[in-house]
Structure 1
Amino acid sequence: MQTVSLLSFVSVVIVLATSYCDAFTRNDFPEHFLFGAATSAYQWEGAADEDGRTPSVWDTFSHSDERGNGDIACDGYHKYKEDVKLMAEMGLEAFRFSISWTRLIPNGRGPLNPKGLTFYKNLIKELRGHGIEPHVTLYHYDLPQVLEDEYGGWIDRKIIKDFTAFADVCFREFGDDVKLWTTINEANIFAIGAYSEGILPPGHCSTNKLVNCSIGNSSTEPYIAGHNLLLAHASASKLYRLKYKSKQRGSIGFSIYAYGLSPYTNSEDDGIATERAKDFFSGWMLKPLVFGDYPEVMKRILGSRLPVFSEEESKQVKGSSDFVGIIHYTTIYITNSKPTPSLLPSNRDFFTDMGVETIFIGNSSFFTFDTIPWGFESVLEYLKQSYNNPPIYILENGLPLKHDSTLQDSERVEYTQGYIGAMLNAIKNGSDTRGYFLWSVIDLYELLAGYKSSFGLYYVNFSDPGLKRSPKLSASWYTGFLNGTIHVDPPKLSASS
């Protein structure tokens, strides 16, 4: 591929944007609003067996199929200075990344790995030196394999103590330079994918016939794991507030995946089903965090399969997040599914419990998304109205396209400007949204797609030994937007659009 500089796309981007009115710019957002982009440790760092790092469940899981793995990924471990320079040239104000638990604490607990500690200190220093705010996620699916083997990871309450100790190390070592912490990445989808559907590590399931799970119980484990995720978050949050917050003055939050959810028809049944889906997808985690307990509809449907908070646990979980991290990509339609009374509780899973059928709009699926900005605005409006308008950071939003050498990703530009416009509309309508992170800075190893599709603003040539980075049109568009040289017309946000 020919060498392409970031600035060489600017004229193309400006031409693309001229069809939009001078409706909004970066300057229309609140003064302290953060625009950034994101990665995660396993998807970006590579160096899987270097400098003391040991396997996580993600290593084990990714080596069990043919979609590739993160052994090398983008080699961010060795190329972080180059990547931070690209971020600075793009004008990023913040960078979201995660810390590999096994790179920092190879045995899951106990002694630190000096080389892992040095890597993260250097990365944070490099970001700060370029004026980029680090936003750190503690857990992005990569539980130490040794803890999974020892006691089963997130389905055992022992994880609460080990996760809190890991968080303590991170707060102590990095907290003077990190002001934004997310404890758990998209906890709801993690619990569903890892323990009901078997499509995320450690790959537990009992009802998904499309996935070869050797262990699991889809009727109980997602709710046990979800309960322990909330308790681990609350424990780490309590530790931070008691031990570090007064000195470090940071904020700590919890992340969920939030689909836009809309009734498929105008029928009462589909309307009720959509509200139930909102409680299952979002309320499952947010109602305990904001109000101290699970949604009533979940308690009624699940009965004894849903764990119960003690009075003390309820108090600890309630109010434990300074902000909510939202991960949003697309919108789906919801229709009520026919009840299956003959289905025994032991044969149920998250989706049969929820009692709905999901219909992806247009050509969307779990792997490809349509541009549906009105659904994004509806998510932010729902959170404002239903959960006391919490502070929100959009921790992931982006468009996957086939990974190839085509740098003219105009579809991603259209998607991004539409969703940023939808977010601005929500903010003008009172949403306390404080930051936006595009997924992803560069092409990564994607868990569900390997290297076949990508979200990156920068193309990575995975066939090149040097893993050469080249800017896509979207990188230049984002640069122009952040610099105030691109003016964007607000998207049409009605459901009929």
Structure 2
Amino acid sequence: MMHLFVAVIFVALPLFPVDANAFTKTDFPPHFLFGASTSAYQVEGAADQDGRKPSIWDTYAHAGNGGAYQGNGDIACDQYHKYKDDVKLMAKMGLDAYRFSISWSRLIPDGIGPINPKGLEYYNNLIDELTSQGIQPHVTLNHWDLPQTLEDEYEGWISRRIIKDFTAYADVCFREFGDRVKHWTTVNEGNMCSMMGYDVGAVQPQRCSPSSIFNCSKGNSSTEPYLVTHHMLLAHASAANLYRNKYKVKQQGFIGFNILVQGYLPLTNTSEDVIATKRAQDFFVGWYLNPFIFGDYPAIMKKNVGSRLPFFTSTESNLVKGSIDFIGINFYYAFHVKNSPGSLQIKNRDFVADMGVELIYIPQNISLHEEIPITPWILERMLYSLKKEYGNFPIYIHENGQLLPSKSLDDRPRVEYIREYIGSLPNMLRNGLDIRGYFVWSFLDVFELQSGYEASFGLYYIDFQDPTLRRQPKLSALWYSNFLNNKTAMKIEENSSLLSNTPHIAT
């Protein structure tokens, strides 16, 4: 989960109207999947056990970055040891699918070379446990946690060497797990990883130009975000090509890529702001979808970025084009877009300045510790826009959830959030959007990228001061479970009354 650092003004928005009793799971197509998500570093723990070596996320967390950043993922939820109990909770809840990531540095500790037997055993055990309970494993290969050895050796995603090494890693995963895993996502939030890690420098591996507000020891915000994305696209395409040529016929799986999609609305109805909104969408989303669908970057990026934007050879273009079977979308926030052409006059400008826009949160005062506005109608509008631009490709909503600082089990704002987004989906499906599944972020309270343990998205509460790390269902877990088990979407008050009658669930 990511947040952007932008200017903020107040804009009032209507909420999407959803009757609490208006829908059940039976209102969705039979094969529509409902699940929950986590990622390896945020949930596994056992960071230095059984042969695992550090990733760039370990390095970043242990550097104590940011005032809001608390702790690290050394222990996290300890799913490495508690996976059987967690899968039991998933089955009891009624999840169709569980989206998780594989720690590259647990499976192949140095990024290349020998497989770690204990890492291989863990993921085989987790996948077996899921499939034995009828829960589909949806696997992400890289979720913000590149092996530190590759970062040290050749600066990771900045180098073309990553393409070969990522493909070899993917080959191991396809070979070892592909008989049970049918949905693979190569990279999580590629667009935000490139921008926040290599332009702004706010997250791992903290690379940016000296002019950035963050204290990066190295980097170039003018060029590195574009190199990183270029190599991510080529690494994905190489892995997808390998899968299709070597494994697809026998395993019958699907390969996708994940991006953060934000809502973009023009601040005013002027042509300048309308054009600026399209430009923002091209930079944030078209940056990836345009190569995947058409084999090249958007024209406006070529114009604004110029020679700093890498180019695809004809062979590379043909490899990237059509290399996705689906797109994974993470959606949380929406913005108004204001035209800001002055930034295009900046010498040595970065990715953000290349857009020539100002992004304004909807509504005001969004921070790491405040509830996220509920705007499913903006998600719907964005998906229709992408359908018009790129065609009706299959979509999985991989992440969507509500951030709350409260430790209370009575998380009513999260119930409202999830209920309204799920309630908006039948209309999107009726109107032709090819959405295949919806995953709540996150199954458990996890170590969040920018809020550590201070705030969470979890359906299950974990007291990280409790050595047992027992899992306790929040109101949102009870609501989601009722929905998943084909019960009428209960009113919040009815769910709330269940909390007092529900014993703590220990693992």
TM range (shorter): over 0.9
Secondary structure of residue in 2 paired with 1:454: coil
Question: Which residue of structure 1 lines up, in the alignment, with residue 316 of structure 2?
Answer: 313
Sort the Cα spacing of 1:359 and 1:208 in 2 relative to 1 into closer, same or farther, 3 A. farther
Instruction: Please list every run of 5 or more consecutive structure 2 residues that lacks an aligned counterpart in the other structure.
Output: 1-17, 492-507
Cα distance in 1, alignment partners of residues 313 and 425 from structure 2: 37
Amino acid aligned to 2:61? S
Q: Per-residue displacement from partner, 1:407-430 (whole Å, max 9, x unpaired)?
A: 111100111111112222211110
**1:362 has 2:374 as partner:** no
Written as runs of structure 1 = structure 2, the 5 A alignment for 1:446-465 is 446-465=448-467
- The answer as to whether partners of 1:207 and 1:349 remain within 8 angstroms in 2 is no
Question: Which residue of structure 2 lines up, in the alignment, with residue 411 of structure 1?
Answer: 413
Cα distance in 2, alignment partners of residues 424 and 304 from structure 1: 44
Sort the Cα spacing of 1:227 and 1:319 in 2 relative to 1 into closer, same or farther, 3 A. same
- Cα offset, 1:372, TM superposition: 1.1
Match of 2:119 among 98, 101, 116: 116
- Cα offset, 1:74, TM superposition: 0.6
Match of 1:424 among 410, 423, 426: 426
**1:215 has 2:218 as partner:** yes
Cα distance in 2, alignment partners of residues 298 and 146 from structure 1: 32
Instruction: Please list every run of 5 or more consecutive structure 1 residues that lacks an aligned counterpart in the other structure.
Output: 1-18, 490-497
Identity of aligned residues (%): 59
Q: Per-residue displacement from partner, 1:156-208 (whole Å, max 9, x unpaired)?
A: 00000000000000000000000000001011111101100111211101156
**1:195 has 2:195 as partner:** no
Between Structure 1 and Structure 2, how many residues are aligned? Answer: 468
Question: Which residue of structure 2 lines up, in the alignment, with residue 95 of structure 1?
Answer: 98
Written as runs of structure 1 = structure 2, the 5 A alignment for 1:87-486 is 87-206=90-209, 209-340=212-343, 342-344=345-347, 346=348, 348-363=349-364, 365=366, 367=368, 368=370, 369-404=372-407, 406-486=408-488
Cα distance in 1, alignment partners of residues 390 and 277 from structure 2: 17
Cα distance in 1, alignment partners of residues 308 and 197 from structure 2: 17
Cα distance in 1, alignment partners of residues 416 and 22 from structure 2: 15
- The answer as to whether partners of 1:376 and 1:422 remain within 8 angstroms in 2 is no
- Cα offset, 1:22, TM superposition: 4.0
Cα distance in 1, alignment partners of residues 97 and 286 from structure 2: 28
Amino acid aligned to 2:463? N
Amino acid aligned to 1:457? L
- The answer as to whether partners of 1:23 and 1:488 remain within 8 angstroms in 2 is no
- The answer as to whether partners of 1:93 and 1:131 remain within 8 angstroms in 2 is yes
Cα distance in 2, alignment partners of residues 351 and 79 from structure 1: 41
- The answer as to whether partners of 1:330 and 1:375 remain within 8 angstroms in 2 is no
Q: Per-residue displacement from partner, 1:417-444 (whole Å, max 9, x unpaired)?
A: 1111222221111000001110000000
More divergent stretch after superposition (298-307 vs 480-489): 480-489
TM-score (norm 2): 0.90
- Cα offset, 1:365, TM superposition: 3.1
Amino acid aligned to 2:470? K
Question: Which residue of structure 2 lines up, in the alignment, with residue 43 of structure 1?
Answer: 42
- Cα offset, 1:233, TM superposition: 0.1
Secondary structure of residue in 2 paired with 1:402: coil
Cα distance in 2, alignment partners of residues 22 and 447 from structure 1: 35
Q: Per-residue displacement from partner, 1:446-473 (whole Å, max 9, x unpaired)?
A: 0111100100000001010011110000
- Cα offset, 1:28, TM superposition: 1.3
- Cα offset, 1:364, TM superposition: 5.5
- The answer as to whether partners of 2:343 and 2:354 remain within 8 angstroms in 1 is no
